[in-house]
Chain A
Amino acid sequence: MESLYGLLGGFSALANPETLLYMVGGFLIGTLFGAVPGLTSVLAIALLLPLTYSLDVTTALVACASIFMAGMCSGSITATTINIPGAPASMMTALEGYPMQQRGEGAKALGHAALGSMIGGSVGALLLMVLSPLAADVALLIRTPGKFSLIAFALVVIIISQRGSITKGMVATLLGVMVATIGIDVVQPVARFTFGSSVLVQGIDMMPLIIGTFAISELLIQADSRSARTVDPSKLQAAKVRRRDFIPPLSEVREIGILRYLKSALIGYSVGILPGAGGSMAAFVSYAESMRSSKHPERYGKGHPEGIASAECANNSMCGGAFVPMLTFGIPGDPTTAIVLGVLVINGLQPGPQFMTQQLDLIAPMFAALFVSALILVPLTLFLLGPYFLKIVSIRRDVLYSSIAVVALVGSYVATYSTFQMALALVFGVLAYFLRKQKYPTVCLLLGFVLGPSLEEYCRRALSINDGSPMVFLTSPDSLFFIALTAVFFYFMVIRKPGEKTLNTTSG
């Protein structure tokens, strides 16, 4: 009952004008960053991170949640209208949305995408509110060896979910782990890898790594393009769209069926809980399942609203699921929740099993923001801004990237009032640029950096309380469970390589 009141309190916190302003502002920024090809909601949240030093933690979390939700659904705008997914999670939407656009039903496709996002996002947020306390109770049962095996499981899944580049995923993750070892040792007061520099004794802060990896590297990648705008205006030969065109016909919604919406939302939420999976995998799994169980699988790939609904429903529901491991175990499974973890750490908060009960007043507004963003802001934004979407996403690149550069670099300065952090952001930016050019997943770099210290700490603590015997990882039931789970995931994701055949079929 206390939890229920706490959660309801989260909704009332949104009534605070400042919090509401950040939620709506965050949603609009997330929509812009999600819709513009090349920008992502992760970049938007990364740019927000330095500002959280000055912001109230609840306000910052609310803004992060609304950016996350907006970024996940707004990728469908350019996916549908110009066949360029604004975010990777909208790739499946492009398969169905663009054919609809070509036959003059683009607005309706966006309507289906918004409806799917609305239902999926709301269900995901509700499941998060209901199931997180249960997950927290389970998390209390996990002891030190189990925590090590759980983090190892997360890292292994993050690496093996990098389809076609597992070794590159491993390199990026280990690079992150190595960067995280710079500074004072996690157990003993010993400085490591400082190379005589006093500024490195405190270790590498998460912020320059995030800013460098997601903002500076993007600037360097974009520096090659000579086009004046983010989207070529010649592609925007949009016919006049009326607001009522965005409302999907009830007959089509009935044909999709509430069960399909709910199933897609459940798939998205479950995929979200998995480390490293993310919105694109949620959309893909849900789309594939929807096509398998559809009465009309032959319509898929030719502009079928069912495909849009299932993909968008799942990728927005994923947002709720992604917060579960981060809040209950302190293990972020994707870059957005890793940055949200950074917001919490900056404010002296450490997520864990008791975090939900002890800090519910801080977290509840974020849950509420996820729910309200999905239920109200997604359809409202489409209705109000829908007719202008194409103009909005075609931004002057010089203005956009110069602004991003200033926010990113000056933002790096905020943490310590030192240009050293700015220089570190540039160094990580150049590193991430090379990694991205060679198709190394930079998300793994961030997650390795975030999870590495905990992995080392739990490993060493588990061994020290068991006289250095590694058998503790096999004799402890919780640890054994996660080791077995790792083996299961490894078997199904690497040895059997699921979905490759389906992926080739659908993408072809």
Chain B
Amino acid sequence: MSPKRLSLGGGFYVPAVLAIITLVYLLSAIQLGPPMKEGNMTPSFFPITAALLMLIALVCVMTQEVRRARSKGVEKSDDEAGAEDADQVSKSIGGISFGAIRVVVLTALYLLAFDLIGYFVSTFLYVLMLMFQFGSGSVQKWPMKLIATLIITGAGFLMFEVFFQVRLPTLWS
């Protein structure tokens, strides 16, 4: 019989990552100096307190998650867990779905392009990509999507640059 292991999902890993971030924060807070000086709080007191409370809360959440996984009888053999993991991987990576990953990547590229090639080109391309991401996935309606993209890009320009007088970046500006 194959060994059994506990199947923990995002419910455990999200607080675990937060705990690592909190530890870095706590170390940085400690480097600010002692929390009390001559009976008064220093700039490090509050962050240290917040970080310690946060760590306690995160440990509680992770413990609850382990208990929940155990009580639900989610213990599975390595083979079963492996099969399930493979299934999960096909839909998401590290708890973030492929759809969300695509939006994050597109947005990151948009932010890079925004300053470099200006509002119009970058926004047009970004919106066009998002139109396919949020649509039904059909490429047959691309002329409609193209028109909608032009309208959204133009409306954005009109709203920010014309109505609210925000100077948006342009190519070669």
Contacts and interface: CB of A to CB of B under 8 A. Distances in A.
Contact of A228 (B36, B60, B115, B136): B136
Contacts of B57: 167, 170-171, 174
Contact of B36 (A51, A429, A468): A468
Interface in A411-426: 411, 413-414, 417, 419, 422-423, 426
Nearest to A220: B100
Given A220-B100, A423-B111, A181 B50 contact: yes
Contacts of B99: 220, 223-225
Give the one of B40, B96, B153, B160 with max A CB within 10 A. Answer: B160
B69 interface: no
Interface in A171-227: 171, 174-175, 177-178, 181, 185, 187-188, 190, 192-193, 195, 216, 219-227
A468 B40 CA distance: 5
A167 B41 contact: no
A131 to B, nearest CB: 33
A422 B165 CA distance: 18
A410 B134 contact: no
The interface size bin for chain B is 35 or more
B38 to A, nearest CB: 8
Given A405-B126, A437-B95, A464-B40, A171 B58 contact: yes
Interface in B1-59: 10-11, 14-15, 18, 22, 25, 28-29, 32, 36, 38-47, 50-51, 53-54, 57-58
A199 to B, nearest CB: 15
Contacts of A53: 164, 166
B147 to A, nearest CB: 10
A430 interface: yes
Interface stretch (B71-79, B80-88, B102-110): B102-110
Nearest to A397: B134
B58 to A, nearest CB: 6
A438 B119 contact: no
A399 B148 contact: yes
B69 to A, nearest CB: 14
A223 B134 contact: yes
B152 A195 contact: no
A409 B134 contact: no
A227 B137 CA distance: 9
B89 interface: no
Given A175-B18, A398-B145, A419-B115, A170 B53 contact: yes
Contact of B18 (A171, A188, A407, A423): A171
B30 to A, nearest CB: 12
A463 B41 contact: yes
Interface string A450-493: 00100010011001100111000000000000000000000000
Given A397-B135, A402-B130, A467-B39, A171 B100 contact: no
Interface string A133-157: 0000000000000000000000000
Nearest to B36: A468
B168 interface: yes
Interface string B90-101: 000001110110
A195 B53 contact: no
A460 B46 contact: yes
A174 B48 CA distance: 12
Given A167-B61, A459-B41, A401 B97 contact: no
8 contacts: A171-B15, A171-B54, A398-B135, A406-B153, A410-B166, A430-B96, A438-B11, A468-B38
Interface of B: 10-11, 14-15, 18, 22, 25, 28-29, 32, 36, 38-47, 50-51, 53-54, 57-58, 60-61, 64, 95-97, 99-100, 102-104, 107-108, 110-111, 114-115, 119, 123, 126-127, 130-137, 145, 148-149, 152-153, 155-156, 159-160, 163-168
Given A396-B135, A423-B111, 19 more contacts: A171-B54, A185-B43, A195-B28, A223-B97, A223-B102, A224-B99, A228-B135, A228-B136, A399-B148, A403-B155, A406-B123, A406-B153, A409-B111, A410-B168, A414-B164, A433-B100, A434-B14, A437-B10, A469-B39
Interface of A: 51, 53-55, 167-168, 170-171, 174-175, 177-178, 181, 185, 187-188, 190, 192-193, 195, 216, 219-228, 396-403, 405-407, 409-411, 413-414, 417, 419, 422-423, 426, 429-430, 433-435, 437-438, 440, 452, 456, 459-460, 463-464, 467-469
